[in-house]
RNA sequence: GCCACCUUAGCUCAGCGGUAGAGCGAUGCUUUCGUAAAGCAUAGGUCCAGGGUUCAAAUCCCUGAGGUGGCUCCA
């Protein structure tokens, strides 16, 4: 005799387990009509599923016109839309397309499928697929669930010859995969093992299209609303690059065509905010294929934005007791063998710059490519024993040892600044009295990112970190972490960035890949969590996301099309001090290992500016604007006064320009508005007479009226010096 | 790197086998004007590069480069 509790606390009792539809009908016919699924104890189920026991329930409904669809309703619709799309693709492209995995996502859904050699799914198919989907939706076929015993079901799937579905079934049943072979272990099933397999027919089982699926789904295809194929991409089975390559087709669905159209229009709008579009329009940066992929050329206007940010953070660093250093863009290979970066991360580094004489000598010996690499990546016996002694482990294996006269030496374009900073720390003795040592540098690093991964300013091959390394004692760690987070907080609040999430990367529970002792890790993780808590914003603890050398705190923001980018980061490192044999003298007059914090509150200047351009849609606050004020003379007759106004502003340290084109004032206003200049000063004979300026802020607000020039100058200076995020100078 | 798509004037794009087009921008002239585009004129192209098919290629095919969206990766 189950009792179901509704969200408002009302209780409904029945003689026997009831389905969602029956419960909805008991509440009201309107609700039963609108119902597309139900939530039982927080878990989403088919409407036809009967809840066996007492439970908290909630009916999920198709939204009424004008009503916002709930996330649960969208989830159900989109999950079902994925099935409909898969059926449509098999109709349009061929039945030999093998389905693998098709879940809903935040903005829609996708289906991963194996497309046989010789065939492909391209954008040319999209209209046909979307059209077929519309037909299936219009047919309003019931979506029917049925179960088969595990053996029977598996037999059936094997007979169908789709190893991906066999693999899904085996994972659902908690069996080891008989088909998935890879270097990586298959990810564990997200849910508990089931006893039988569930299938969903889009229509009548045995007659219509069917798919192995755990559900849940909407009761019929007519409940999907409007759906559309969005894009096609390649993916890997189980996300494993050594595994099969699959084709991933993305789609999205909404309750109505209007909402779908609105979503598509939003995407178009978002594209206009894209930092690559604005960056070109406002001449902020340039990427030139002759210079190289992923290498940013900062143009004069963009350089101003970056310089202002650097000046801003520089002032904060001085307040916090940092000292600034400069280090070169390259370092000896041996330096990076010491830090462990080379050759461990060689796949994401630019190839080393090797000594010509060593290379010539090896070539003269007729050295093979493999041997050449071995000699570049190898170390001397002495190096090996020193390193292994420091790390107290077989960090460097015997097979990497190369005789001294065969070693090829060279340099590496630096992928990290830390080895250089470690060497600065090591260059003089340190007492516990002068700890912590905080070395800061806008250090430019180079990493070889895969070409498909490059993206405007947000993913590049050369970038400048607002880097610093804090060498501190164990006891100082919590306070230093706190200081690092304060910096990030100051940056985000000054720039009015509120939409970010904080990720605390911790150890995986069962892993031996980490360096450092358990005690020091516990302490560092506690410090990270305490520091994150002090931020006053929600954060997620993510086990397994720590670096191998220590836990970390990352700040992640979304770009205009919803992609996440990591900006600021604070990382604890127990490894570096050991590898570089760093020490300070403690009160006991004995050497101690410092802890190192790597931190970059902006992350990289490139990525941060890219995100910032989108954040402001190019309309920077005055202090960051490349051009802060533009003087617009009404006509040439007012040019002399305009130049006088410009002179006064220039002398006040304001970035000002003057528009002396023969255009009409309307045209000049539009040009300045398009360039997102914070303040326009319209000056004509009237203003000249009174030594005044007529102010207009960024074209957003209309004519603000006239004010004395001196008053405007002091207003702008005040706004800039306090780094105000809004335009506040008004008559 | 993988899959799909894209690459035509400075920018945004049309043309898709038969001699290269538009809007904006630029330049010049006229206008001297009070708050989101004055008028007229002119210049501007190896149609991403290389190869092939064809009487004929921006257009069709192949290879390469660069870009976009995903996948994978991110010390």
Summarize pLDDT for A666-685 with one digit per residue, the tens.
999 999 999 999 999 999 99
What is the torsional sign of CA A226, A232, A237, A240? negative
CA–C1' gap, A234 and B60, in angstroms = 27
Which nucleotide has the least CA–C1' distance to A459? B74
Which nucleotide has the least CA–C1' distance to A692? B34
Q: Do residues A191 and A214 touch, judged by C-beta distance below 8 A?
A: yes
pLDDT at A210: 93
pLDDT at A723: 97
pLDDT at A537: 87
A267-300 pLDDT, tens per residue? 988 899 999 999 999 999 999 989 999 999 999 9
A11-53 pLDDT, tens per residue? 999 999 999 999 999 999 999 999 999 999 999 999 999 999 9
A109-144 pLDDT, tens per residue? 999 999 988 888 989 899 899 999 999 999 999 999
Which nucleotide has the least CA–C1' distance to A687? B34
Q: Do residues A602 and A491 touch, judged by C-beta distance below 8 A?
A: yes
Answer yes or no: is pLDDT of A526 > 80. yes
Q: Do residues A570 and A595 touch, judged by C-beta distance below 8 A?
A: no
A69-88 pLDDT, tens per residue? 999 999 999 999 999 999 99
Answer yes or no: is pLDDT of A218 > 70. yes
Single out the residue of A505, A508, A712, A463 nearest to residue A611, CA to CA.
A463
The single-letter DSSP state of residue A244 is -
CA–C1' gap, A292 and B50, in angstroms = 21
Single out the residue of A2, A4, A80 nearest to residue A39, CA to CA.
A4
pLDDT at A332: 96
Answer yes or no: is pLDDT of A305 > 90. yes
pLDDT at A672: 95
Q: Count Cα atoms within 13 angstroms, Cβ side, for A638.
A: 27
Cα A151-A152-A157 angle, rounded to 5 deg: 95
Tokens of A720: 């800039």
Single out the residue of A110, A133, A100, A121 nearest to residue A243, CA to CA.
A100
Q: Do residues A477 and A527 touch, judged by C-beta distance below 8 A?
A: yes
Strand B: list positions under 7 Å from protein Cβ. Answer: 1-5, 11-12, 29-38, 65-75
Average pLDDT, chain A: 93
Interhelix angle for A356-364 vs A369-377, to 10°? 140
Answer yes or no: is pLDDT of A395 > 90. no
What pLDDT band is residue A191 in, cutting at 50, 70 and 90? low
Which nucleotide has the least CA–C1' distance to A701? B35
Answer yes or no: is pLDDT of A728 > 70. yes
What pLDDT band is residue A176 in, cutting at 50, 70 and 90? confident
A409-457 pLDDT, tens per residue? 999 999 999 999 999 999 999 999 999 999 999 999 999 999 999 999 9
A550-562 pLDDT, tens per residue? 999 999 999 988 8
Answer yes or no: is pLDDT of A190 > 70. no
Q: What whole-number percentage of chain A has pLDDT above 70? A: 98
Answer yes or no: is pLDDT of A194 > 80. no
Mean pLDDT of A304-330: 97
Tokens of A437: 């040592």
User: How far apart, in whole angstroms, are the C-alpha atoms of residue A406 and residue A486?
Assistant: 50
CA–C1' gap, A459 and B65, in angstroms = 20
Answer yes or no: is pLDDT of A184 > 80. no
What pLDDT band is residue A182 in, cutting at 50, 70 and 90? low
Mean pLDDT of A233-250: 92
CA–C1' gap, A632 and B47, in angstroms = 40
A155-159 long-range CB contacts below 8 Å, 24 or more apart? A157/A197, A157/A212
Answer yes or no: is pLDDT of A692 > 70. yes
Residues of A marked active site are found at 418, 447, 465, 467, 469, 552, 598
* Alpha helices in A3-125, H assignment, sequence order: 20-27, 29-34, 71-92
User: How far apart, in whole angstroms, are the C-alpha atoms of residue A488 and residue A526?
Assistant: 19
Answer yes or no: is pLDDT of A183 > 60. no
Mean pLDDT of A477-482: 94
CA–C1' gap, A723 and B69, in angstroms = 37
The residue assigned the tokens 């059936």 is: A156
A536-545 pLDDT, tens per residue? 888 999 988 8
């Amino acid at each position: 005799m189950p009792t179901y509790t509704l969200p408002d606390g009302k209780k409904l009792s029945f003689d026997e387990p009831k389905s969602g539809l029956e419960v909805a009908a008991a509440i009201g016919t309107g609700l039963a009509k609108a119902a597309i699924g139900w939530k039982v104890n927080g878990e989403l189920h088919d409407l036809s599923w009967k809840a066996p026991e007492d439970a908290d329930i909630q009916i999920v409904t198709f939204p009424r016109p004008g009503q916002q669809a709930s996330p649960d309703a969208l989830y159900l619709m989109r999950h079902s839309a994925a099935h409909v799309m898969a059926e449509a693709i098999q109709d349009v492209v061929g039945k030999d397309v093998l389905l693998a995995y098709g879940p809903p996502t935040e903005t829609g859904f996708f289906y991963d499928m194996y497309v046989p050699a010789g065939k492909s799914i391209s954008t040319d198919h999209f209209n046909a697929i979307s059209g077929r989907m519309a037909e299936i939706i219009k047919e309003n076929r019931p979506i029917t669930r049925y179960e088969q015993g595990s053996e029977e079901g598996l037999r059936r799937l094997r007979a169908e010859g789709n190893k991906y579905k066999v693999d899904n079934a085996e994972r659902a049943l908690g069996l080891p995969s008989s088909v998935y072979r890879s270097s990586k272990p298959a990810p564990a099933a997200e849910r508990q093992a089931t006893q039988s397999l569930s299938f969903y027919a889009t229509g009548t089982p045995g007659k219509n299209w069917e798919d192995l699926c755990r559900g849940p789904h909407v009761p019929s295809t007519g409940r999907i609303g409007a759906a559309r194929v969005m894009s096609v991409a390649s993916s890997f089975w189980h996300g494993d690059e050594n595994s099969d390559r699959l084709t991933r087709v993305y789609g999205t669905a909404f309750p109505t065509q209007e909402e779908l159209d609105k979503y598509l229009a939003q995407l178009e709008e978002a594209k206009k905010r894209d930092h690559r579009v604005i960056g070109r329009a406002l001449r902020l940066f340039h990427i030139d294929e002759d210079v190289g992929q992923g290498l940013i050329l900062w143009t004069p206007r963009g350089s101003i934005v970056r310089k202002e940010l650097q000046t801003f953070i520089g002032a904060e660093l001085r307040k916090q007791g940092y000292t600034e250093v400069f280090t070169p863009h390259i370092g000896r290979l041996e330096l990076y063998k010491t830090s462990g970066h080379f050759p461990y991360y060689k796949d994401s580094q630019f190839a080393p710059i090797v000594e010509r004489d060593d290379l010539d000598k090896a070539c003269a010996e007729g050295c093979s490519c493999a041997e050449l690499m071995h000699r570049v990546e190898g170390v001397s016996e002495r190096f090996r024993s020193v390193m292994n002694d420091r790390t107290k482990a077989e960090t460097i294996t015997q097979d990497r040892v190369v005789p001294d006269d065969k070693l090829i030496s060279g340099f590496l374009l630096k992928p990290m600044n830390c080895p250089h900073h470690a060497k600065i720390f090591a260059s003089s003795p340190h007492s516990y009295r002068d700890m912590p040592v905080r070395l800061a540098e806008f250090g430019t690093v180079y990493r070889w990112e895969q070409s498909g991964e490059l993206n405007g300013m947000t993913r590049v091959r050369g970038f400048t970190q607002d880097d610093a390394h804090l060498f501190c004692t164990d006891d100082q760690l919590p306070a230093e972490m706190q200081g690092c987070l304060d910096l990030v907080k100051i940056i985000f609040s000054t720039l009015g960035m509120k939409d970010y999430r904080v990720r605390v990367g911790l150890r995986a529970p069962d892993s031996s890949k980490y360096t450092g002792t358990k005690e020091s890790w516990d302490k560092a993780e506690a410090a990270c969590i305490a520091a994150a808590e002090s931020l006053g914003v929600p954060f997620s603890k993510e086990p397994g996301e720590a670096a191998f050398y220590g836990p970390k705190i990352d700040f992640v923001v979304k770009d205009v099309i919803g992609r996440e980018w990591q900006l600021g980061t604070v990382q604890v490192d127990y490894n570096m001090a050991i590898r570089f044999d760093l020490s300070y003298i403690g009160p006991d007059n004995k050497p101690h290992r410092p802890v190192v914090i790597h931190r970059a509150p902006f992350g990289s200047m490139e990525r941060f500016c890219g995100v910032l351009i989108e954040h402001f849609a190019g309309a920077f606050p005055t202090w960051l604007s490349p051009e802060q004020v533009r003087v617009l003379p009404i006509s040439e007759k007012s040019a002399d006064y305009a130049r006088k106004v410009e002179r006064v502003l220039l002398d006040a340290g304001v970035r000002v320009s003057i528009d002396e084109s023969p255009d009409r004032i309307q045209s000049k206003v539009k040009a300045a508005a398009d360039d997102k200049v914070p303040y326009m000063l319209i000056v004509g004979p009237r203003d000249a007479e009174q030594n005044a300026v007529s102010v207009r802020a960024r074209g957003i607000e209309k004519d603000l009226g006239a004010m004395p020039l001196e008053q405007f100058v002091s207003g702008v200076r005040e706004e800039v010096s306090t780094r105000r995020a809004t335009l506040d100078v008004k008559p």
